[in-house]
A and B are shown apart, each in its own frame.
Chain A
Amino acid sequence: MRGLPLALVAAALAFTGAAGPAAADRYVHANNSAYDTLDPHVVGDVARVATRLNFYDGLYRWVDNPPQLIPWLATSHTVSDDGLVWTFSLRDDVPFHDGSLMTAEDVVWSVERMLALKRGASTLFLPVLDPGATKALDDTTVEFTLKTPSAIFGSIVSDIYVMNSDLVKENEVDGDWGQAWLTDHVAGSGSYMLDRYDPAVGFIGERFEDHFAGWGESYYDEIEFRTVLETNTRVQGLMRGDYQGLDGYLAPDQIARLRDSDNVQIIEQESMRVFHFAMNNRRPPFDDVNFRKAMAHAFDYEGFIGSILQDSVVRNPTIIPNNMWGAPKDVEGYTFDLEKAKEYLDKVEGPIRTIHIGTLAGFSETEQAASLLQNALAKIGVTAEIESAPWPVVNSRMQDPEQMYDMVPYWKSTYYADPNNWIGELYGARYIPTRNVSGYDNPEVNARLEKALVSTDQAERQTLYEEAARIVYDDAAGIWIYNTKWYGPYSTEAAGIRFSPVGNAQDMRWAHPAD
């Protein structure tokens, strides 16, 4: 019996090269999240962005770091003086994968579909754009009439993924906007065409030779994105050469392990993903600025960043990422000082009760940060209890003012590169209780954020965001800890990886085999 497994292995190896690496003109990416739908209008998360970026095109596209918005399906746009009417000029040479040409009608239909489904990126558009407010003026001009002026509208049109409307309509069932069909089919113009798809495994894309943006001298003919849940398996797979790339936010010990491998290169970039504690500003004693300042001084920033995270991240003193315009450069940040924390605690007028910190199960950094704070608070006489739950549970509670924890450590990712993505959404009253989960409501801050949201003067917007960030900082409305560094683990045989905080380097048209 002992020889049976080895005999089976030998027999199987004789038939297949299954244990060998992928071919050189093929890129295989292992991801920790499932590609369980291909419909770009029903999901909006960063983890599944590869299907949107590679199979579909938006009006504009975010590239590089700091993120730059470049013309894509649209070549330019104009904005009316009142900031309400946005008119985009479209390219006239964009073929869909079936060869038919994209027109403004496809853009209008795609926008209406996105708004009707009320999922994914629609939540960014619905507050400013009503269904029926998008018009095709001619084949290459599309006009959006907004409900209220929005300076960020130009930043979010990258999320309008345009579909071949005729093709989808042919596959509609009972007016479902083609939802059932688009779950496992693609109707886009993106750089890659769908070749194989299995929601339990991932997808294979074949290069779309006729893509409007053309191709450089080198590229991958085929890309494969696979779901591999176990981190250790992904890491070993990259070291073995089974994969050419992994997700870029691995734990420091895994990055260190990968650095030791001759087959692996780590591409390092400062991202725009701020780790912070949201504090429930509505509930006593957090409604007292002295208590919040005590909390801010009770967190061991250096210990967390230096010892626990091994300096793999960068201290970020406010809620706006350091590398984003609008971040005040002169703010140094709160320091770990238990004496000061005690002083502020003594000034708190009401009773101090046990506080509850919600952490994200499976995200050990949130648990470590909460434990660190809990230990420090114990030294100044404050008891903290930690409750761990999966992100959807924590998120549901955060958005319900009655159920919101006292504190939650989590990351704010980049959905669009504008300061409103961070300070506007997390501390502007217009986003209470959905994105502004802390319930922070300061008229001085609101006035600046609202003005910045409609102003078209970049210099003025920058000043407004800097001022708002300083006020929020002085109010200690949260605890802002670090800005994430992105450590892209790639095979040394891969080159041309182009990282942007918005797409996390999963736009594969720029990548190619190394020379």
Chain B
Amino acid sequence: MRRIEIILSRLLWLIPTLVGLVVVVFFIANVVPTDPARIIAGENATTEQVEALRAELGFDRPLWEQLGIYVRDLATGNMGRSLYTQRPIADDLAHRLPATLELTFAAIIIAIGLGIPLGVVSAVKRNSLTDQVLRVLSVSGLAIASFWLAMELQMLFSTRWGLTPLNGRISGFGPDEITGFFVLDSLLTWDMESLGGALLHLLLPAVTLALPAAATILRFTRAGVLEVINSNFVLYETAMGLPRGLIIWKYVLRNALISTVTQIGLIFGVLFSGAVVVEAVFDWPGLGTYAVQSILQSDNKAILGFTILVGVVFIVVNLIVDILHTFIDPRTLK
């Protein structure tokens, strides 16, 4: 019952959080001194043409009224049309969302695959040379600028060695669309050529995105393991003669992962929004490139749509982490 109460309370908080997000983002987007009517009308439009278009599209109305219309439309899933392309923004975001999610999932899998084992090794071999090297690497992973790393990986793997594609999500266009996730769609349609292409294209951007996240996970795992490894139950299990590997990888890790899981949830949100830079360098046709284009074109409505979507993802991921916590650590129910 307590768990349901917590979930319901979190869900209720979603409403004011989302409303606050929309209002704040809407006003910030309208602070930028751009004239949307002029952007739509084009560079060569006369003042009369711009004024006619402004009235037609409602940009001459007070900002509060425009906000009311926007919220009303948003409630029905209508985010308006891009000022620049005239395409429905919700359609554009929905079309690009699988690309960004696929990249983010791949990155988080790599980050977990690297971060947790290395974190455990670092803790177990505390203050050894291995630990020192891993700690330096984790600090470097956090410090390296992702655009620089992306270009270096491109130079080495694509240009010099010719092992991976330079950019894009796949050569040409993707497999027959079912979910929009190329790896999944390739498997569902058993299109092995597309699967190979999708994995190969995914590799460099996912690694670029994953490394800082892996460094964070490594540090949290190390700290968690160090905290647990000196517990009485570990001493007891050791005294009972249980193998060292079993104690570390099963019992210690399980108890040490509580804070890491919270971090993974937060990292997912950071990776999702952080994909902007990586997508731009690798020409990955996801939400990041959409955001970059929208910013360069001062397409306020598209920026608004992107920001709200990222905000919603953050909120939902936090909600899921909160719920997961109640399962991993039942003490939070008290």
Contacts and interface: CB of A to CB of B under 8 A. Distances in A.
Interface of A: 1, 4-6, 8-9, 11-19, 34, 36-37, 39, 42-45, 118-120, 123-124, 126-127, 179, 183, 196, 198-201, 204, 224, 226-230, 232-233, 236-237, 239-240, 242, 362, 390-393, 395-397, 399-400, 403, 415, 425, 433-435
Contacts of A239: 159
Interface stretch (B7-15, B17-25, B168-176, B324-332): B168-176
Contacts of B234: none
A18 B296 contact: no
B35 interface: yes
Given A200-B289, A204-B172, A44 B158 contact: no
Contacts of B157: 9
B86 interface: yes
Given A119-B42, A393-B33, A199 B87 contact: yes
Given A200-B286, A201-B173, A224-B172, 15 more contacts: A8-B200, A18-B201, A19-B200, A45-B43, A199-B85, A200-B96, A230-B280, A236-B166, A392-B39, A392-B297, A392-B299, A393-B298, A395-B38, A395-B43, A396-B35
Given A126-B46, A200-B289, A42 B86 contact: yes
B71 interface: no
A233 B166 contact: yes
Contact of A393 (B34, B159, B166, B195): B34
A123 B95 contact: no
B49 A118 contact: yes
A240 B166 contact: yes
B113 A1 contact: yes
A13 B203 CA distance: 12
Contacts of B41: 118-119, 123
B5 interface: no
Interface size classification for chain B: 35 or more
B188 interface: no
Q: Which of A228, A229, A236, A433 lies at the interface centre, i.e. has the most chain B CB atoms within 10 A of its CB?
A: A229
Interface of B: 32-35, 38-47, 49-50, 52-53, 82, 84-87, 92, 95-96, 99, 113-114, 117, 151, 154-155, 157-159, 162-173, 192-197, 199-201, 203, 207, 280-283, 285-286, 289-290, 292-293, 295-299
A36 B297 CA distance: 12
A1 B117 CA distance: 10
A413 B264 CA distance: 50
Contacts of A233: 154, 166-167, 281-283
B196 A12 contact: yes
Contact of A19 (B40, B165, B169, B290): B165
B283 A229 contact: yes
Is chain B's interface secondary structure helix, strand, loop, or mixed overall?
A: helix
B197 A15 contact: yes
Given A183-B87, A199-B95, A18 B197 contact: yes
A200 B99 contact: yes
B166 A242 contact: yes
Contact of B40 (A1, A15, A119): A119
A276 to B, nearest CB: 16
Contacts of A42: 86
11 contacts: A5-B207, A9-B164, A13-B163, A13-B200, A45-B42, A228-B168, A230-B283, A232-B154, A233-B282, A390-B295, A396-B39
Nearest to A180: B88
Given A37-B85, A179-B86, A16 B197 contact: yes
Contact of A123 (B45, B113, B282, B292): B45
Contact of A15 (B92, B99, B195, B280): B195
Nearest to B83: A392
A226 B168 CA distance: 9
B28 to A, nearest CB: 15
A392 B285 contact: no
Contact of B158 (A12, A16, A19, A201): A19
Given A118-B52, A198-B173, A199-B92, A434 B44 contact: yes
A44 B159 contact: no
A15 B195 CA distance: 8
Contacts of B159: 236, 239-240
A419 B241 CA distance: 92
A233 B158 CA distance: 10
A397 B39 CA distance: 11
A236 B297 contact: no
B53 A118 contact: yes
A239 B39 CA distance: 36
